[in-house]
Amino acid sequence: MSRITSKWSTWNPQILSLVRIVAAILFILAGTTKLFAFPAGIPPNGGTVPLFSQMGIGAVLEVFGGALLLLGLYTRPVAFLLSGEMAVAYFQFHFPNGFWPSMNGGTLAVFFCFLWLYFSAAGAGPWSLDALRKN
């Protein structure tokens, strides 16, 4: 292995944390769009979803589960729960509109499903409250 490659690979734990943080911010924004119309409301009229609807409960999971992932707190169980939420979202809302995620609008649901599944196995990384709790 080259010197650059071996040096770069030592950053793996920090990059894991960085990916978790960025993905959690994007996931929170998906929820705040549905719950609070922030930064914009849901199409076509820019509104919100009813809190006690299935989409409302999903949005609550996205905001509060995303916040826990952002902090890296209880990462493994929260990521597993959110992976399941995204699988349900895909098969219930996107898959009936066609097989291919790029055509049925489900690309992000599939991506977050597998990303959160990965974090449920890999953990939060060193920049997390989970890492602090272990010490």
- Over the stretch 20-49, which tens digit does the pLDDT of each residue have? 999 999 999 999 999 999 999 998 899 999
For the segment 92-109, what is each residue's pLDDT rounded down to a tens digit? 999 999 999 999 999 999
Contacts of 31 (CB under 8 A, 6+ apart): 58, 59, 60, 61, 62, 63, 66
**Would you say residue 14 has pLDDT above 80?**
yes
